[in-house]
Amino acid sequence: MTDDMIRVVLADDHAVVRAGLKAVLGGAKDIEVIGEAKNGREAVTMAERFNPDVIVMDLSMPELDGTAATKEIVQKGLRAKVLVLTMHAEEDYLVPLMEAGAAGYLVKSAADRELVDAVRAVAHGDVYVRPAAARVLAKNLTKKDPAQSERERFEKLTQRERDVLRFVAQGYSAPEIGEKLFISPKTVDTYKQRIQEKLGLAHRSDYVQFALKLGLLAEA
Phi/psi class of residue 77: alpha, beta or left (left: φ > 0; alpha: ψ in -120 to 50)?
Answer: left
CA distance 24 to 16: 13
Secondary structure element (H or E) that encloses residue 17, with its range: helix 15-26
CA distance 137 to 13: 28
The pLDDT of residue 3: 61
What does pLDDT average to over the chain?
Answer: 86
Contacts made by residues 197-205, CB under 8 angstroms, sequence distance 24+: 198/153, 198/156, 198/157, 198/161, 199/153, 199/154, 199/157, 199/165, 201/165, 204/168, 204/169, 204/171
Partners of 85 in the β-ladder: 58, 106
Query: Residue 171 gets which letter from DSSP?
Result: T
pLDDT confidence of 101, banded at 50, 70, 90? confident
The pLDDT of residue 218: 63
pLDDT per residue over 7-60, tens digit each? 999 999 999 999 999 999 999 999 999 999 999 999 999 999 999 999 999 988
- CA 43 from chain center: how many Å? 18
pLDDT confidence of 140, banded at 50, 70, 90? low
pLDDT per residue over 106-137, tens digit each? 888 888 889 999 999 999 988 887 665 555 55
Q: Are 147 and 214 in contact (CB under 8 A)?
A: yes
Residue 209 has pLDDT above 70, yes or no: yes
The pLDDT of residue 90: 53
Residue 89 has pLDDT above 70, yes or no: no
The pLDDT of residue 99: 74
> In terms of pLDDT, which residue wins out, 71 or 96?
71
How far is residue 71 from each of residues 16, 57, 83, measured CA to CA in Å? 26, 12, 12
- Other C-beta atoms closer than 10 Å to the C-beta of 198 total 15
Q: In the chain, what are the domains? A: 6-143 (3.40.50.2300), 148-219 (1.10.10.10)
Helix (H, G, I), strand (E, B) or coil at 102: coil
CA distance 200 to 42: 42
Q: CA quadruple 185, 190, 195, 196: dihedral positive or negative? A: positive
